[in-house]
Amino acid sequence: MTFPASQIALLINGSIEGKSDTAVTSFGKIEEAKEGQLTFFANPKYEEFLYSTKASIVVINEAYELKQPVTATLIRVPDAYTAFATLLAKYQEIMQQQLTGIQQPSYIAKTAVHGENVFIGAFAYLGENVKIGNNSKIFPNAFIGDNVTIGDSSIIHPGVKIYHDCKVGNNVIIHAGTVIGSDGFGFAPQTDGSLKKVPQIGNVVIEDNVEIGANATIDRATIGSTLIKSGAKLDNLIQIAHNVEIGQSTVIAAQAGISGSTKVGNGVLIGGQAGLAGHLQVGDGSKINAQAGLGKSLKPGSSVTSSPAYDYGQAIRSQAVARNLPEMEKRIKELEMLVRQLLAEKIS
């Protein structure tokens, strides 16, 4: 497909510098782009490539002042990175709209229903009473268990497993290999030392505009729901335990783990490999650094690091002191020697 600069500028509310009929058919990185491709410039580290790129169109911040001529047609916008993301999303939407129909072999229970313009890939399984909304895509080898509902315009990538009774909202993206609704890790210790499994009869509810990376696991609740609220973004290889709640627009990086019944507020940032103990309350807007081990609740706006996690500012000051320990040790020894000399002189 071909897109002229005039059409692209309308999509992102940009102003054109150059030829409005310049057309592109694909995207490219600014340092590698070829003629007929569109790229963007937002990071000053790539400034040299702005003047040498072969791209036909460059999306650029409106405040940026050119230091030398460029050959590409420019589209100026307030935020080039956000505008480029908008274009990529639109392009992906157009491509996915072309993907419709039901491939065979696949299994769709007689009581399952789906809306218009859906795609169901080969070897997908849709159980009893499944409901799939309009324009949603279920890719090959996905398993959608009994009584699962999936809203409009959601994408379930290959190999995703969604257990029975779980609910997925609109515009949700779940990447390959992720498991939604597996049993929570609940076992009751017995007097003989054995462990009795606690049945997990709840579900998982994923609200609108959530994205979940590949090979993540979100456990169903013991009772009630494990809840991922609207706009949350979860990276690959994340473990969310039973009855956890993840707040709106919270971002969690890869390999983080959150233990049962912990409630994470809105707009929280959790770094990679962080671990959160169970039954905690993490306040809105908190920041948990990578590899932090959180064992206590956080007030809104907190920033913590390390394991066990403690205040980020204190941690930075402690690290600064730690770097000076060898010099401090030397000075302490010199002071001790001076004190001994003064005491000896006083005694004599």
Tens-place pLDDT, residues 78-132:
999 999 999 998 888 777 777 899 999 999 999 999 999 999 999 999 999 999 9
Q: What pTM, to 2 d.p., does this model score?
A: 0.80
Q: Name, in order, each residue with C-beta under 8 angstroms of 126's C-beta and a sequence gap of 6 or more.
A: 106, 107, 108, 109, 112, 114, 120, 132, 138, 144
Provide the residue type at 110 as one letter: K
What 3 state SS string does 132-189 have? ECCCCEECCCCEECCCCEECCCCEECCCCEECCCCEECCCCEECCCCEEEECCCCEEE
Confidence at 328, pLDDT banded by 50, 70, 90? confident
pLDDT score of 91 = 86
> What is the rounded distance in angstroms from the CA atom of residue 95 to the CA atom of residue 155?
13
Place 9 in a pLDDT band, splitting at 50, 70 and 90.
very high
pLDDT at 131: 98
Q: What is the pLDDT of residue 347?
A: 76
Q: Which two tokens stand for residue 345?
A: 């002189």
| Structure confidence at residue 323 (pLDDT) | 83
Task: Assign a CATH topology to domain 3-90.
Answer: 3.40.1390
CA proximity to 250, closest of 240, 34, 51: 240
pLDDT single digits (tens) 239-285: 999 999 999 999 999 999 999 999 999 999 999 999 999 999 999 99
User: For position 325, what pLDDT does the model report?
Assistant: 85
pLDDT for 348 = 67
**What is the rounded CA–CA span in Å between residue 184 and residue 217?**
10
CATH 3.20.20.70, domain 101-257, yes or no: no
Mind telling me the catalytic residues? Answer: 242
Q: Could you tell me if residue 36 is left (phi over 0), alpha (psi between -120 and 50 degrees) or otherwise beta? A: left
Helix or strand holding residue 321 (H, E): helix 312-323
What ranges do the domains of the chain cover?
3-90, 101-257, 313-347
At 63 the pLDDT is 94
Report the side by side order of strands in the sheet with 245-246: 113-114, 131-132, 149-150, 167-168, 203-206, 225-228, 245-246, 263-264, 281-282
**What's the whole-number average pLDDT of the chain?**
94
Query: Where is pLDDT greater, at 324 or 73?
Result: 73
pLDDT in tens, 135-182: 999 999 999 999 999 999 999 999 999 999 999 999 999 999 999 999
pLDDT at 290 over 70: yes
> One fold for both 3-90 and 101-257?
no
CA dist., res. 340 & res. 191, Å (int): 63
pLDDT of residue 239: 98
